[in-house]
Amino acid sequence: MFEAIVFDMDGVLVDSEPIHYATTNEVLGARGAWIARADYDGYLGMDELAFFAELVRRFGLDDPPQVLARERIALSLGRLAQEPLPPLPGVLELILALRGEGRAMAVASSASRHQVRLVLDRLGITGCMQAIISKDDVQAGKPAPDLYLAAAAGLSLDPSCCLAIEDAALGVASARAAGMTVLALVPAGSDDTAHREAGARACLSGLEGLSVERLDALAAAAE
């Protein structure tokens, strides 16, 4: 039985990627560039500065990654504060069930601290988390293990006692490098090869209908 569950945020608790994709192209569009959604998805889970460093190289942009990242964060925060932001199916039910079982919970996200707090507050689950770790709290982002190591430290637990839930292969690699068991969320019909190669114990299509008992079974099977 795992002692805690550590959630990634975007793509696990809430589907905010359409907002981030749109604001990315607002930033790029002002510089005469554009990225297709399929290409954008290949960067999911990557640290913000590393992501924009890749885009600067890819499109030959003049502005440094820090400038682009600041612009997108500002645009995304504005939209996250105003646009509908429902939790993904099954999220609130699972969190309530985990809380009822006395399990500790944390969030480990590549987003900024302000953005993470904004989303969790809007979902009404900030108080359910015993640790909230953002990119601002660590030296290296995913796929480095820093975010998940910090989450385990915030929970005062060994990473091996924690079950991580991720939607990006880079995030799976990060949690595995930290020593956690990982479940990956992959849309039904999508290729889960990258997630499994990164170390996912199992790939699920979503959290809807997922019980604490099922999570325990998956964690036990990985031991």
Q: Would you please indicate which residues are annotated as catalytic (active-site) residues?
A: 8, 10
Asked whether 181 and 201 are in contact (CB, 8 A), the reply is yes
How open is the CA angle 183-189-192, to the nearest 5 degrees?
Answer: 40
Cα–Cα distance measured from residue 1 to residue 98, given in angstroms and rounded to the nearest whole number: 12
Residues 6+ apart with CB under 8 A from 127: none
Q: Angle at the Cα of 134 (from 175 to 67), degrees rounded to 5?
A: 115
Tokens at 120, concatenated: 């969790």
